[in-house]
Structure 1
Amino acid sequence: MAAGAIVNKLYCSASQVVLTVRKRPHVVNGGGFVVTDCSQKIIFRLDGCGTLGTKGELILRGADGEFLLLIRKKGSMFEALGIHRQWKGYKVDDEGAEKLVFSLKEPNSFLVKNIKVNVGHKRCNIKDWDFEIRGSFPDKSCAIVDSSGKTVAQVGVRKEAQMMMVSKDLYQVVVQPGFDQAFLCGVIAVLDNIYEESTHC
């Protein structure tokens, strides 16, 4: 899967982009997070279940509040056993029709380091995944790589956050040229919820 528009080409930059993710406490606006660029301009807002009132549902919006992604957790008859839980991200058109953008299978253990992400319904390469999260998201030390092994984004702790010891509330994401930032933030929203951070209720 080559880098390019997955959610919207407006969020694909010709140059490398450094985004800052700042979590909102549950007591402020119901949790979730905001994503800013290097000039502190808000690019995305993520509403978690504290805002929506619906567990297992997240909404990614653009800077002006425009709807970008509806993300839902899908369980199965085996969910009680901690397996086969899957997250799916959808674009929704003006008539309310949902189009699948990506799916991510929730790991059955926090010890699992690599998480696979599929884009859309169809398989377009030999591997059974399009992107993979490698490393530790809770430690804010992970990379998102495509099926060819190329790193398309890197999650890390900002230096000022390390100094203030608030690394779980402030971190940065370095996005490579051409990669869809909205898709990336949708994936980060799911990881945030899986690991019971700002969007989890």
Structure 2
Amino acid sequence: KSLDQVFSMHHRWEVFRGDSTNAGDLLFTVKTTSLIQLKTEMDVFLAGNTAQQVCDFKIKGSYFDRSCVFYLGDSNNMVAQMSRKLTVSNVLLGRDTFSVTVFPHVDYVFIASLVVILDEVHRDKRDD
């Protein structure tokens, strides 16, 4: 899967099948819900949702705290959860690790790709 960032009023990331960037190979789009965010909030739109009026998935939480919840659409139905994994060795070695729990019948590769996008978003903020 390739990841291209498209600049707009909201940060937007498009994920395509393979190395393609053709519109027909678009898998999903992720958008921040506002330009300035104190907490993480992102909307995910599957390729078939071209109107993008209502999101297919939503990510809410605090990436800084490594605590985010992935919801089905605009509902309270959780499909995955990410949390910081604190251990003595991680703290002493300065490692930043977290765990991701993916609920049954949810595509774990899809959730993993969303976690990668979250990391890229916050890496970009750290590099600014």
Structure 2 length normalisation: TM-score? Answer: 0.78
The 2-side partners of 1:145 and 1:115 are apart by: 10
Residue 132 of structure 1: SS of its match in structure 2? strand
Structure 2 gaps of 5+ residues are none
Look up the match of 1:164: 90
Structure 1 gaps of 5+ residues are 1-68, 77-82
Look up the match of 2:7: 75
Residue 120 of structure 2: SS of its match in structure 1? helix
The Cα of 1:110 is off from its aligned counterpart by 3.4
Structure whose alpha-carbon radius of gyration is higher: 1
The 2-side partners of 1:153 and 1:130 are apart by: 14
1:91 partner letter: R
State the superposition RMSD in angstroms.
Answer: 2.9
- Alignment length (residue pairs): 121
The 1-side partners of 2:94 and 2:17 are apart by: 31
Look up the match of 1:144: 70
Q: 1:75 to 1:156 in 2, by over 3 A?
A: same
Does the aligned pair in 1 maintain the 2:67–2:84 contact within 8 Å? yes
Q: 1:137 to 1:97 in 2, by over 3 A?
A: closer
Q: How does 1:154-193 map to 2 (within 5 A)?
A: 154-160=81-87, 164-165=90-91, 169-193=96-120
Structure 1 length normalisation: TM-score? Answer: 0.52
Does the aligned pair in 2 maintain the 1:71–1:186 contact within 8 Å? no
Does the aligned pair in 2 maintain the 1:100–1:121 contact within 8 Å? no
Q: 1:178 to 1:112 in 2, by over 3 A?
A: same
Bigger proportion of residues as helix: 2
Structure of higher RCO (CA pairs closer than 8 Å, 6+ residues apart): 1
